[in-house]
Structure 1
Amino acid sequence: MSEVEISFDRDRIDFAATSAIIKASYWGAQRSDEIHRCAFDNSLCVSAFIDGEQVGFARAVTDHACFAYLCDVIVWPERRGVGIGKKLVGALLDHPDLAQVGSWSLRTTDAHSLYAGFGFEVSNDGFWMRRRR
């Protein structure tokens, strides 16, 4: 496999492909392209490329000071299992603009081991609450 390139350049995101693959996921099925445009515009986004072709995406919703929410971590199906997801997560966690962020969170039903490798733990501390519309 060629080397994976990580980029924070929004102009390189293949929006149509990224939106489509997220909408095909279990967590993004109810979203529209318009929702993704707004979400991406208001997040720190990172993409993975191999030979100039996008093969992954992730984003962090953050205030750049206290809190960040890691979301939409996705690797194109034919490229999974070779560490691209780890590179995307690592790039966000190591981004210099997020160096002082002390509280990171995320939600997953199937990738606990990926995130545990970065120090994430399942939270049952009685503090976190959630409200869904």
Structure 2
Amino acid sequence: MPDTDCDFEITFDQQRLDFRTVSDWLMASYWGGKRTDALHRSAFANSICAIALAEGRLVGFGRAAGDRALFARISDVIVAPNHRGKGIGKALVQALLAHPELATVSTWTLNTADAHRLYAQFGFRRVHDGNEMRLDR
């Protein structure tokens, strides 16, 4: 756990997830505005979810999805507004990258409009090589 000015824990136990809160956060985000609870339930069930808790209350969330062998995509990293700037987002990413079920993953991807500095700390870089392609439906 990184040095922070608040105590928190990271868990992967989805039984401890406050689904209502994280789904609301994501639907209020710039990237999740068109999502539904049903989409979140499916996405979370098919992902490794990192949950940040402070005094038992949800303060952050992130997830990784993929084949758990060769590739994974980090998505939905979000921290409660009153807990931002305390290292929680960094701890969530670090926990996902270190998860034992993802140990053999060699290709990690993500998409962000505003958190490039966070991910750059872990070696993520913008892709400009012309090989990466994307389909948005």
Tell me how far 1:63 sits from its aligned partner: 0.7
Partner of 1:54: 58
Q: Is the 8 A contact 1:7 1:46 kept in 2?
A: yes
- How well do the aligned residues superpose, as a CA RMSD in angstroms? 0.7
Q: Does 1:89 align with 2:93?
A: yes
Which residue is equivalent to 1:111? 115
Distance in 2, Cα, partners of 1:4 & 1:87: 10
Structure 2 runs not aligned, ≥5 long: none
Matched, 1:13 2:17: yes
- Secondary structure of 1:74 counterpart: strand
- State the SS of the aligned residue for 2:62: strand
Contact 1:13 1:47 in 2 (8 A): yes
- Structure 1: unaligned runs, 5 residues or longer: none
Please state how far the C-alpha of 1:29 moved relative to its aligned partner. Answer: 0.3
Runs of 4+ in 1 over 4 A off after TM superposition: none
Q: Does 1:43 align with 2:44?
A: no
- Tell me how far 1:2 sits from its aligned partner: 3.9
Which amino acid in the other structure matches residue 35 of structure 2? R
> Following the alignment from structure 1 to structure 2, what is the Cα–Cα distance between the partners of residues 113 and 131?
25
Of residues 23, 31, 38, the one that matches 1:34 is: 38
Moved more, 101-110 or 2-11: 2-11
Q: What's the TM-score, normalizing by structure 2?
A: 0.95
CA distance in 1, matches of 2:65, 2:129: 22
C-alpha contact 2:68 2:105 (8 A) present in aligned 1: yes
3-state DSSP of counterpart to 1:125: coil
AA of the residue aligned to 1:86:
K
> Could you tell me which amino acid in structure 2 is paired with residue 13 of structure 1?
L
Paired residues of 1:2 and 1:51 also in contact (CA < 8 A): no
Matched letter for residue 5 of structure 1: E
* TM-score (ref. length: structure 1): 0.98
> What is residue 73 of structure 2 aligned with on the other side?
69
* Matches of 1:29 and 1:119, distance apart in 2: 29
* Number of aligned residues: 133
